[in-house]
Chains A and B, each alone.
Chain A
Amino acid sequence: GQNIDQPTEMTATEGAIVQINCTYQTSGFNGLFWYQQHAGEAPTFLSYNVLDGLEEKGRFSSFLSRSKGYSYLLLKELQMKDSASYLCAVNGTASKLTFGTGTRLQVTL
């Protein structure tokens, strides 16, 4: 089965950097995904990692360590519009994508 853990809530200040951690235990692994979900909206894709290391996409970066079952999403130069839930998801066998419960990020002035 799959077990995915993330902090429930985080708060950070506009302009700062925040790191959202995700740990997982899975029976199969074919990559780790991060999605963003604003309140009342659908999740949207942010990034994915299949190999160890850091993937950078503008203000967002995602890191993966497969041996540790660990990933993080790094958000730089935080903006108010970054207030949202961030969902960690593991791609298991046969393209099965399982989500964690998400981390609700509040960006304050």
Chain B
Amino acid sequence: DARVTQTPRHKVTEMGQEVTMRCQPILGHNTVFWYRQTMMQGLELLAYFRNRAPLDDSGMPKDRFSAEMPDATLATLKIQPSEPRDSAVYFCASGLGTSGGNSGANVLTFGAGSRLTVL
């Protein structure tokens, strides 16, 4: 049963600390998305990659957030320094996106999420 693996599942940290969240996408999936979910905003797209190349990170506060894919099996989302307003659940999702925009291939599988609390 293929799944997207996220670590850590829970993280409590103090304001100003660095936080790194990791994601292992499903083998063979070539798109990886990072979303942030809060009660007020719902699922916000932070950044996404296709074939490890960043396509759009306009939803991400660039001064403190960074997203990378060092290889096809690992995506990372880093916050430095963290702030209380960053408290949320961060989801990674992967899919078989194609450049032709074939919707059927763009079904995303989500990881279980990383719940971040910044005090």
Q: Which residues of A contact B97 (CB under 8 A)?
A: 94-95
Interface SS majority for chain A? mixed
CB-nearest residue of chain A to B110: A42
User: Would you call A99 and B35 a contact (CB within 8 A)?
Assistant: yes
CB-nearest residue of chain B to A85: B42
Give the interface residue-count category, chain A: 20 to 34
User: Would you call A100 and B42 a contact (CB within 8 A)?
Assistant: yes
User: Would you call B103 and A96 a contact (CB within 8 A)?
Assistant: no
Q: Determine which residue in B33, B91, B108, B113 has the highest number of CB atoms from chain A within 10 A of its CB, and name it.
A: B108
User: Would you call A97 and B104 a contact (CB within 8 A)?
Assistant: no
Cα distance A96–B31 when bound, in Å?
10
A window 44-74: CB within 8 A of B: 44-45, 48, 50
CB distance from B3 to the nearest CB of A (A): 10
CB-nearest residue of chain B to A42: B110
CB of B61 within 8 A of chain A?
A: no
